[in-house]
């Protein structure tokens, strides 16, 4: 598998690259890079309205991404966006503004990524709506009792499926069932789960699901919002422009009735073609087997880090993602990450765009190692060896 990823042949500072920053973005297989190059070299044109051969090829390439997404995630509607962030903002503008009113409440959790907090704060500044946050408990899980008790006047529940800091997988079936019982819609931030799991969108019963291609071996700049038919009917267009209209006159416009209604302007054609290849690549992976392998490596890593005196955040249960956030008791995280980079290891430090969660944990950042399918247990072992050597020399 590793041979398919050209970047994994790279050396960093004279050492083989060990890429453990997959929760931020994943690497791309040759098939994705080649498909995008091939499109630009052979089929580049604008989509939808052209009758010429290239326009037909570009349209087919772009729309086949939508078809692949609908098939993979069992969804009736897939709006193509620039990523998770834009998908969530689209829900706030297209659904939120049109369907929320004075006194309504939205439930978020303390472990949301900023992209599932700030759009709602901005909307709450505009409209008289209340934001309620489900607390994170000491075992890194959501307080489900408090969640259920906070449902009065709630019209929307926004929840991250898998935390990008803790790797914790939230009980979305239970969350969706409680929300539905109380007549609320559910937005799932699947940025960290869609890359690892096959999610059956219709079966789980969420109304919106947002995710990004670049975290699942696809290109940057593209993502999707899956929408239930019911929620889709309640969405008003947000961005106006070409492609999203049916007719325009000086007296007014009528809009498309399909997903294009929410995709104004020239879309991300090369990126869609690249993402389709990434989805094909993911089809070749035995997700359950690979997940088991990765979570076992993550658990081993967490145990070793604790033995070395680090504080490790997260529980690394069966369904959790292989994300290991940790802190050394005294050593500065950025310094440690620089020393790791000097030896070829790519990890992330900082607040990981989840400041409310870090406030709750009473820390300002962590070092995060996040694994993906091309990582090996040998790399994890060499990471611990390298950290041991660094700590012996510098602490």
Q: What SS3 string covers the chain? A: CHHHCHHHHCEECCEECEECECCCCCCCCHHHHHHHHHHHHHCCCCCCCCCCHHHHHHHHHHHHHHHHHHHHHCCCEEEEECCHHHHHHHHHHHHHHHHCCCCCEEEEECCCCHHHCHHHHHHHHHCCCEEEEECECCCCCECHHHHHHCCCCEEEEEEECECCCCCCECCHHHHHHHHHHCCCEEEEECCCCCCCCCCCHHHHCCCEEEEEHHHHCCCCCCEEEEECHHHHHCCCCCCCCCCCEEEEECCEEEECCCHHHHCCCCCCHHHHHHHHHHHHHHHCCCHHHHHHHHHHHHHHHHHHHHHCCCEEECCCCCCCCCEEEEECCCCCHHHHHHHHHCCCEECEEECCCCHHHHHHCCCCCEEEEECCCCCCHHHHHHHHHHHHHHHHHHC
When asked if residue 212 is in the footprint of ligand PLP (CB under 6 A), the reply is yes
Is 63 or 189 the residue whose CB approaches ligand PLP more closely? 189
Q: Tell me which of 169, 217, 353, 386 is the catalytic residue.
A: 353
Per-residue mark of binding to ligand PLP, 93-132 (x: CB under 6 A): --------------------x-x-----------------
Is 82 or 276 the residue whose CB approaches ligand PLP more closely? 82
Is 23 or 58 the residue whose CB approaches ligand PLP more closely? 23
Q: In this chain, which stretch among 82-90, 119-127, 133-141, 265-273 interacts with ligand PLP, using CB under 6 A?
A: 82-90
Count residues binding ligand PLP (CB under 6 A).
14
Give the nearest distance from C-beta 160 to ligand PLP in angstroms: 5
Give the nearest distance from C-beta 164 to ligand PLP in angstroms: 3
Give the nearest distance from C-beta 89 to ligand PLP in angstroms: 9
Among residue numbers 45 through 74, which ones bind ligand PLP (CB under 6 A)? Answer: none
When asked if residue 84 is in the footprint of ligand PLP (CB under 6 A), the reply is yes
Per CB under 6 A, the list member of 79, 179, 184, 191 interacting with ligand PLP is 191
When asked if residue 160 is in the footprint of ligand PLP (CB under 6 A), the reply is yes
Q: In this chain, which stretch among 3-11, 79-87, 301-309, 361-369 interacts with ligand PLP, using CB under 6 A?
A: 79-87
Among residue numbers 300 through 319, which ones bind ligand PLP (CB under 6 A)? Answer: none
Among residue numbers 341 through 380, which ones bind ligand PLP (CB under 6 A)? Answer: 353
Give the nearest distance from C-beta 19 to ligand PLP in angstroms: 16
In this structure, what token pair is assigned to residue 384?
């611990």
Is 86 or 277 the residue whose CB approaches ligand PLP more closely? 86
Alpha-carbon gap, residue 337 to 206, rounded angstroms: 38
Give the nearest distance from C-beta 211 to ligand PLP in angstroms: 8
Q: 160 and 353 in contact (C-beta within 8 Å)?
A: no
353 is catalytic: yes
Give the nearest distance from C-beta 191 to ligand PLP in angstroms: 3
Q: Which residues are known to be catalytic?
A: 353
Interface contacts to ligand PLP, rule CB under 6 A: 23, 83-85, 113, 115, 160, 164, 189, 191-192, 212, 223, 353
């Amino acid at each position: 598998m590793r041979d398919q990823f050209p970047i994994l042949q790279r050396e960093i500072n004279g050492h083989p690259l060990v890429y453990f920053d997959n929760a931020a973005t994943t690497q791309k297989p040759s098939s994705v890079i080649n498909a995008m190059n091939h499109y630009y070299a052979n089929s580049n044109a604008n989509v939808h309205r052209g009758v010429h051969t290239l326009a037909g090829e570009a349209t087919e390439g772009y729309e086949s991404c939508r078809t692949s997404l609908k098939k993979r995630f069992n969804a009736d509607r897939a709006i193509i966006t620039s990523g998770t962030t834009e998908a969530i903002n689209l829900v706030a503008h297209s659904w939120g503004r049109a369907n929320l009113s004075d006194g309504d409440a939205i439930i978020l959790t303390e472990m949301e990524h900023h992209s599932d907090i700030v759009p709602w704060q901005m909307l709450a500044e505009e409209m008289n709506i209340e934001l309620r946050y489900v607390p994170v408990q000491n075992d890194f899980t959501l307080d489900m009792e408090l969640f259920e008790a906070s449902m009065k006047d709630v019209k929307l529940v926004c929840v991250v499926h898998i935390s990008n800091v803790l790797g914790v997988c939230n009980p979305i079936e239970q969350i969706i069932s409680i929300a539905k019982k109380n007549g609320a819609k559910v937005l799932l931030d699947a940025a960290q789960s869609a890359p690892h799991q096959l999610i059956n969108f219709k079966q789980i019963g969420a109304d919106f699901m947002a995710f990004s291609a670049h975290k699942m071996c696809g290109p940057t700049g593209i993502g999707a919002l899956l929408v239930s038919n019911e929620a889709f009917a309640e969405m008003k267009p947000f961005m106006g422009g070409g492609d999203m209209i049916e007719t325009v006159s000086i007296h007014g416009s009528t809009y498309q009735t399909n997903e294009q209604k929410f995709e104004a302007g020239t879309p991300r054609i090369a990126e869609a073609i690249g993402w389709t290849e990434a989805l094909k690549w993911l089809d070749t992976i035995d997700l359950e087997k690979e997940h088991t392998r990765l979570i076992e490596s993550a658990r081993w890593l967490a145990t070793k880090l604790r033995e070395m005196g680090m504080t490790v955040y997260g529980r690394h249960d069966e369904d959790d993602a292989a994300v290991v956030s940790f802190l050394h008791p005294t050593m500065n995280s950025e310094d440690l990450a620089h020393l790791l980079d000097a030896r070829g290891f790519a990890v992330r430090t900082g607040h990981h765009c989840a400041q409310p969660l870090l406030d709750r944990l009473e820390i300002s950042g962590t070092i995060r190692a996040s694994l993906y399918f091309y990582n090996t247990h040998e790399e994890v072992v060499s990471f611990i060896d390298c950290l041991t050597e660094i700590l012996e020399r510098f602490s």
